[in-house]
């Protein structure tokens, strides 16, 4: 049984692990538990998995009547989880984050079922801190998370998404499908599926200069923000080396053919770029809990595996300067790529499967 939801950062690592489990043992049965309103409602059924959902909500930091509802929903969800656990009888329960994993793993631990949590970020979330007292094993993606958990339960595995992208690394891809060239160094700029207004604004400012570069740029605006960007670019003619698209299709195929990536610093993105050894300019989102994207990015910057531009320092010029520094210096790109790859976990899914087995073995002794 897998519990995790709300955002893609909790869902995609779970799906990557499940994909690997089914490659190893095709008869593996999985029941996915998510929330009624999260992205999992679309993503998990598309992956061909059975999904059951619970209504959950988080605590407000201030005194609020809604916190009473939060407690009520949690207790109700624990009872629902116990019912589903009795029906499904899993060998092990994995939680990948989000409030739903709190209820499901708490219920499983109280029933004596093997439990594992996977923490994707360098800053541990509230739910996983709560669960750490009850679960059998804890898998982490960043060394920085180790000190935030009981040390005897922790294993550094990396993020299963890393192994998934490595399996696609050798996939042939030609940039000619995007109207670009295969022989020219490629800069990809991607602010997430919804796009990021400040990143979009800085790219719009930089495009007249990008037009004149000897490298090529593919820039994804986000589906909802494409029309606005096109409007902002009215009167600007794009050279053949610059492509503006709403969304990057076949991202897994394209990533290994990118020379430098400009992106947010979500846990899944970091797993992918370090697994593939991609030099990256990270622009952490300032809108996430505990500012964890800055800390995620800093872990790479400290090792020389990435550069970082904080959003309040992001302009067309600062973006262009960082892009030129890497795109015009192949030696520097290779150095950064090597340092990035040293932080990667190309066997992360297999390592997490080992941790799941460790949890099962604890209960067999």
pLDDT digits (tens, 9 = 90+) for 128-156: 999 999 999 999 999 989 999 999 999 99
Please check whether the domain covering 167-342 is classified as CATH 3.40.50.2300: no
Give CA–CA dist 331/2, Å, rounded: 43
Reading the block at residue 19, the tokens are 């994909």
Give CA–CA dist 243/323, Å, rounded: 16
Determine how many CB atoms are found less than 10 A away from the CB of residue 308.
Answer: 19
Give CA–CA dist 7/99, Å, rounded: 11
Give CA–CA dist 169/322, Å, rounded: 26
Report the pLDDT value the prediction gives residue 101, as an integer from 0 to 100. Answer: 94
Q: Is 121 a known ligand-binding residue?
A: yes
The structure tokens 């899914």 sit at: 349
Given this chain, do its domains 2-159+346-364 and 167-342 carry the same CATH topology? yes
Report the pLDDT value the prediction gives residue 251, as an integer from 0 to 100. Answer: 85
Give CA–CA dist 87/50, Å, rounded: 14
Mean pLDDT of 74-80: 92
Q: Is 41 a known ligand-binding residue?
A: no
Q: Is 193 a known ligand-binding residue?
A: yes
Predicted TM-score (pTM) of the model is 0.86
Q: Is 98 a known ligand-binding residue?
A: no
Q: Is 8 a known ligand-binding residue?
A: yes
pLDDT digits (tens, 9 = 90+) for 344-358: 999 999 999 999 999
pLDDT digits (tens, 9 = 90+) for 152-206: 999 999 999 999 888 877 678 899 999 999 999 999 999 987 789 999 999 999 9
pLDDT digits (tens, 9 = 90+) for 246-299: 998 888 889 999 999 999 999 989 999 999 999 999 999 998 877 889 999 999
Return the domain boundaries, the chain: 2-159+346-364, 167-342
Question: What would the CATH number be for the domain defined by 2-159+346-364?
Answer: 3.40.50.2000
Report the pLDDT value the prediction gives residue 67, as an integer from 0 to 100. Answer: 66
Report the pLDDT value the prediction gives residue 214, as an integer from 0 to 100. Answer: 96
Q: Which of 324, 311, 188 minimizes the C-alpha distance to 259?
A: 188
Determine how many CB atoms are found less than 10 A away from the CB of residue 62.
Answer: 7
């Amino acid at each position: 049984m897998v519990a995790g939801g709300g955002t893609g950062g909790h869902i995609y690592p779970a799906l990557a692990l499940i994909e690997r489990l089914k490659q190893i043992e095709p008869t593996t049965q999985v029941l996915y538990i998510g929330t009624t309103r999260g992205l999992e409602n679309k993503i998990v059924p598309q992956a061909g998995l059975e999904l059951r959902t619970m209504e959950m909500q988080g605590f407000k930091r201030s005194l609020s009547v809604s916190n009473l509802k939060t407690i009520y929903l949690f207790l109700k969800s624990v009872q629902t989880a116990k019912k589903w656990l009795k029906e499904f009888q899993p060998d092990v329960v994995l939680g990948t984050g989000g409030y739903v994993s709190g209820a499901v793993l708490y219920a499983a631990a109280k029933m004596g079922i093997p439990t594992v949590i996977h923490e994707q970020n360098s800053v541990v979330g509230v739910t996983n801190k709560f669960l750490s007292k009850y679960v059998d094993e804890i898998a982490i993606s960043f060394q920085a998370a180790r000190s935030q958990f009981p040390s005897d339960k922790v294993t550094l595995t990396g993020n299963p998404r890393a192994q998934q992208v490595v399996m696609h690394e050798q996939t042939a891809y030609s940039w000619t499908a995007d109207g670009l060239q295969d022989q020219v160094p490629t800069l990809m700029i991607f602010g997430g599926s919804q796009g990021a207004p400040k990143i979009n604004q800085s790219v719009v400012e930089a495009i007249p200069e990008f037009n004149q570069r000897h490298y090529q740029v593919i820039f994804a605006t986000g589906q909802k923000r494409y029309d606005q960007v096109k409007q902002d670019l009215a009167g600007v003619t794009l050279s053949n080396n610059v492509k503006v698209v709403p969304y990057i299709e076949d991202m897994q195929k394209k990533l290994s053919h990118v020379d430098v990536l400009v992106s947010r610093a979500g846990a899944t993105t970091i797993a992918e770029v370090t697994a593939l050894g991609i030099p990256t300019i990270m622009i952490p989102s300032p809108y996430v809990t505990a500012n964890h994207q800055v800390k995620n990015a800093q872990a790479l910057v400290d090792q020389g595996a990435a550069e970082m531009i904080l959003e309040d320092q992001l302009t067309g010029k600062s973006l262009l300067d960082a892009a030129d520094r890497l795109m015009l210096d192949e030696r520097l790109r290779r150095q950064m790529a090597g340092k990035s790859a040293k932080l990667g976990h190309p066997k992360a899914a297999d390592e997490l499967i080992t941790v799941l087995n460790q949890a099962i073995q604890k209960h067999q002794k």
